[in-house]
Chains A and B, each alone.
Chain A
Amino acid sequence: MSRDVTSSLLTLPVELIYRILDNLDDFTFLCSTRNVCQRLNYITDAYHRYQTLTTLDLSEYQIEDQGTQHLAHALTNDTIISAINLTNNKIHDQGIAYLTAALKNNTTLTKLNLQCNSIEDQGAKRLADILLNNTVLHDKQIFVLSIFILHPGIDDTQP
């Protein structure tokens, strides 16, 4: 392990980092700058856009499974975002797996719209599992709105 790693990004003044963040859309901001390291988290915790980022509209954002993975990573211990609109993206079962794994640790998110994605039986089952079996999420009343299921296997699990 080399100790001479000087992080130029982290030595920037906070105002400059905010200037950089101003150039990013919400999705990039969350996925690429949250949970990089503690100091950056402290800085972004106080960033005005993050503090007001309770609703995230990512409809028709061309998000695929990898993007979902990045988003899930940011959501793991997020305490700000309460609603996400992911309609009309390209999320498959793999993406749902990332998402549901992250939601196990998230107690803030209460609304998640996954309408018009490519969720099939496996993904739908994971969503159903997390709705029915996770008491924290159940108490928080997560609403999975209108999951579009290609194979209508368990579509009677909507709350």
Chain B
Amino acid sequence: MATTTDSSNTSATTTTENATSKTIKIQSNDGETHEIDQGVVEQSSTIKTLSDLMDLGDVPIPLPNVKGSILTPIVEFCNYHKNDPKPEPLDDDDDDDPNKDIYEPKRSDDICEWDQNFIKRFTVQEGTLFDIIMATVGCKTIANMVRGKASSEVREMFNISYDPPGEGLNAPNAIESQAGTVPTTQDTSATGPSPQPDPMN
């Protein structure tokens, strides 16, 4: 699997200048454990949050979404990139250009050579390219956030502006208003037949 491993990462793994000596163990869903140092931990909000929350000691953090065959290259990737400058905040650029299409594809030709070689290991055919995306854990997290929410709440949660197709057919209050005046209390149970005329007669 890892035959194409780039040797350039070995120098990165040995550098510890911005990291403390503290290391953390992580474990893939098939039981493979890796030891990562603080510089790597900083790159994963999930692992960082977990390690900040509790003193784990020697217990490995389980990563149930990640296979061992995918975790190894991820650790390698994080080790290579742990000294990269922090990315700029995302909401910076579209303030200066309000007309910018937010759906405009991002530039994809600025991937550095190491990353290009790295990503070549993963293919669509084997599904590993999607596994590496999945390993960001985000998909499942977002799915969990959405569960049990109304679409209006989802809209609010993700700052999605409402754009009704047609004439507000699915407006947030459309259903409520169409439903009319239905007693919300339980007192109808005692009142017997409906006072309105029976539609059958």
Question: A: which residues have CB within 8 A of B?
Answer: 3-11, 15-16, 19-24, 28, 31-41, 69-70, 72-74, 76-77, 93-94, 97-98, 100-102, 104-105, 120-122, 125, 128-129, 132-133, 150-151, 153-154, 156-157
Could you write out 24 A-B pairs with CB less than 8 Å apart?
A: A6-B159, A7-B158, A7-B159, A9-B142, A10-B102, A11-B102, A20-B143, A22-B139, A24-B146, A32-B146, A32-B147, A32-B148, A33-B146, A38-B165, A69-B176, A70-B150, A100-B179, A101-B175, A101-B180, A104-B178, A121-B188, A122-B183, A153-B193, A157-B199
In the assembly, what is the distance between CA of A1 and CA of B45, in Å? 31
Per-position contact with A for B71-112: 1 when CB-CB < 8 Å, else 0?
A: 000000000000000000011001100100011000000000
Q: Nearest chain-B residue to A72 (Cβ)?
A: B175
In the assembly, what is the distance between CA of A31 and CA of B170, in Å? 12
Q: A4-B91, A7-B160, A105-B169 are in contact. Are A36 and B188 (CB under 8 A)?
A: no
Is B140's CB within 8 Å of the partner chain A?
yes
CB-based contact A32/B151 at 8 Å? yes
Known: A5-B159, A21-B143, A39-B163. 10 other contacts (CB 8 A): A6-B91, A10-B160, A16-B133, A19-B139, A32-B148, A39-B103, A70-B150, A94-B184, A98-B175, A125-B199
CB-based contact B161/A5 at 8 Å? yes
Question: B: which residues have CB within 8 A of A?
Answer: 90-91, 94-95, 98, 102-103, 130, 133-134, 139-140, 142-144, 146-151, 153-155, 158-163, 165-166, 169-170, 174-176, 178-180, 182-184, 188-189, 192-194, 196, 198-200
> Which residues of chain B come closer than 8 Å to A102, judged between CB atoms?
175, 178
CB-based contact B158/A34 at 8 Å? no
In the assembly, what is the distance between CA of A133 and CA of B146, in Å? 37
Q: A37-B160, A98-B179 are in contact. Are A77 and B169 (CB under 8 A)?
A: yes
CB-based contact A20/B180 at 8 Å? no
CB-based contact B194/A122 at 8 Å? yes
CB-based contact B160/A32 at 8 Å? no
A148 to chain B, nearest CB (A): 14
A34 to chain B, nearest CB (A): 6
CB-based contact B179/A101 at 8 Å? yes
In the assembly, what is the distance between CA of A3 and CA of B99, in Å? 10
CB-based contact A7/B102 at 8 Å? yes
